[in-house]
Structure 1
């Protein structure tokens, strides 16, 4: 399986997505300018896929990093694949385009390459100055995500976004969207938590059957933000079996964990703001895991969500009550 940092997959709408992207989530304690610096480093190293979201609060910095590399001639706009996400307080049909336009304004681009519904459920704005603030109490709303999708389709027709997708949808929710009467554009991808302890084999198989790519976040299982993750959960990169396989290839556990997902046929978002690690992650294109090692790593699955978003378990559209 020959993969390079230039490798792209062809989405069901004909657009192409780089198979390795830079993830940019960071807790509120992390200085925002680190995201800008990371984007500049990543683009200089050859990354062309940048993933962000309104809820991360750093789209302005990410956008400045992208635009600076366009301005200095390193890349052209069409070289960059930028993903944004519609936060759950913007799911009401009269708010969808406003949410997209806000991301366009913050990142400073004329269009987004991909725009995702961040979750399959809607949340009522709390009245805060910024309705996306995640430290406010969540009050769920009953907006049907199919109605949200219709407005997103109109945004695509208007040229504001090239491709449309979803995030954190289970099979049942994908089926509902795919079977929506009058569906004009089916989602090109479903971005989900995907790592060795949550290998998503059933959802991956289903999405492949529908020509929908899985895009993997939290691929190293090491996201330890106490606001979202139980700190008592095991650290994936410390797993002895993973480390044994990594030693066999003389690679880091992180490289092996990422390569595993790429060989499964998913797109990977590798989050790091550390230049050395951003560079090291490109090492995934220098080796290939053998079938017996893929099988060994498959055995590590625990169906473990590091980010279960438990605050919304009572929402009727909470996705993780289903098997997959």
Structure 2
């Protein structure tokens, strides 16, 4: 049984299936496999180009809709009232669902009107198209502005976070406001496989380096992870990270690793330090 994060605004599994960059039959099969294995959180986005396959996988699973937590996102070129309204309608059409559990702004846009963008999220929530709304890839100052604007009840922040990237300022803001925190790229795109510190801890626990990286994140309050895994073997291994109990020495060793390695920073990314 996957443990849950519970806040005033949502109830979300601690671990879910990330679907970027899977497409087509591979994506549908991965969703079906993950749900059969016990995953109940599936993360997709308009930009991924796989919402139809995610929806097909959900439909084929036979699992009741209210047992699943489905997340999708609107791309940064549609952050107007009408753009967001069109995006959520299109996403629901592809997913063949009448609502998602969480609807995010995927990336901020330097030219966006923040209040209008947040108003678009709130309109989707108020219309029942999304049970909760949130933001992705917002740096600390912008994240705080979005919360304090009071336009939409921000339920979750999704950002890159792993053993090589510190996100303490963002986690502190999220905890201050009772907001869930989701990590993408939590397994460092397998960079941990070559890390002697992580490898040593993995050997000690009879685990893989990826499982150790996930265990370090999942032990944190209010933090969820959405590792991408196409095959059943990796999906099962990722779930296995939930049962790994790191000791104080393990955590200290991982905490001491350099924490400035960002794996995802496209040209349109915000100013991470000052945004």
Indicate the TM-score class for this superposition, using the shorter chain for normalisation: over 0.9
Q: Which residue of 1 aligns with 2:215?
A: 259
1:193 to 149, 160, 166: 160
Give 1:302 deviation, angstroms. Answer: 2.6
How has the CA–CA distance of structure 1 residues 66 and 243 changed in structure 2, closer, same or farther, with 3 Å as cutoff?
Answer: same
CA contact (8 A) 1:38 1:275 kept: yes
- Equivalent residue number for residue 2 of structure 2: 6
Report if aligned partners of 2:192, 2:213 keep a CA contact under 8 Å in 1. Answer: no
What RMSD in Å do the two structures reach over aligned CA positions?
Answer: 1.5
Which of residues 189, 192, 209 is equivalent to 1:236? Answer: 192
- For residue 118 of structure 2, what is the aligned residue in structure 1? 149
Instruction: Summarize the alignment of residues 103-182 of structure 1 with structure 2, pairs less than 5 Å apart.
Output: 103-121=91-109, 142-180=111-149
How far residue 319 of structure 1 moved from its aligned partner, in angstroms, is 3.7
Between the aligned partners of 2:224 and 2:113, the Cα distance in structure 1 is: 28
What's 2:34 paired with? 42
Kindly indicate whether the alpha-carbon contact (under 8 Å) linking 2:118 and 2:152 is maintained by their aligned counterparts in 1. Answer: no
Kept after mapping to 2: 8 A contact 1:308/1:320: no
- Contact 2:122-2:153 within 8 A present in 1 as well: no
Q: Does residue 24 of structure 1 match 2:19? A: yes
1:55 aligned residue: 47
Counterpart-to-counterpart distance in 1, 2:265 and 2:187 = 16
Give the distance between the partners of 1:307 and 1:91, measured in 2 at CA. Answer: 21
Whole-angstrom distance in 2 between the partners of 1:199 and 1:175: 18
Please give the alpha-carbon distance, in whole angstroms, between the structure 2 residues aligned to 1:197 and 1:297. Answer: 9
Distance 1:158 1:98 in 2: 13
Out of 225, 231, 236, which is 1:279 matched to? 236
Q: 1:308 aligns with which of 257, 260, 265?
A: 265
CA distance in 2, matches of 1:88, 1:257: 30
Aligned partner of residue 251 in structure 2, secondary structure: helix
**Which runs of no fewer than 5 residues in structure 2 stay unpaired?**
none
Distance in 1 (CA, whole Å) between partners of 2:259 and 2:14 is 25
Deviation at 1:269, TM superposition (A): 0.5
1:143 shift after superposition: 2.0
CA distance in 1, matches of 2:139, 2:23: 33
The CA deviation at 1:184 is 4.7
Task: Mark the runs of 5 or more structure 1 residues left unpaired by the alignment.
Answer: 123-141, 224-234
Cα distance between partner residues in 2 of 1:11 and 1:237: 34
> Does the Cα contact within 8 Å between 1:169 and 1:319 map onto a contact in 2?
no
Question: CA deviation digits over 1:233-261, x for unaligned, max 9?
Answer: xx232111000011111101111100100
* Contact 1:168 1:319 survives alignment (8 Å): no
Post-superposition offset of 1:206: 2.3
Query: Normalized against structure 1, the TM-score is what?
Result: 0.81
- Does residue 215 (structure 1) correspond to residue 182 (structure 2)? The answer is yes
1:31 Cα deviation from its structure 2 partner: 4.8
d(CA) in 2 for partners of 1:213 and 1:294?
22
Find runs of 4+ consecutive structure 1 residues off by over 6 angstroms.
Answer: none
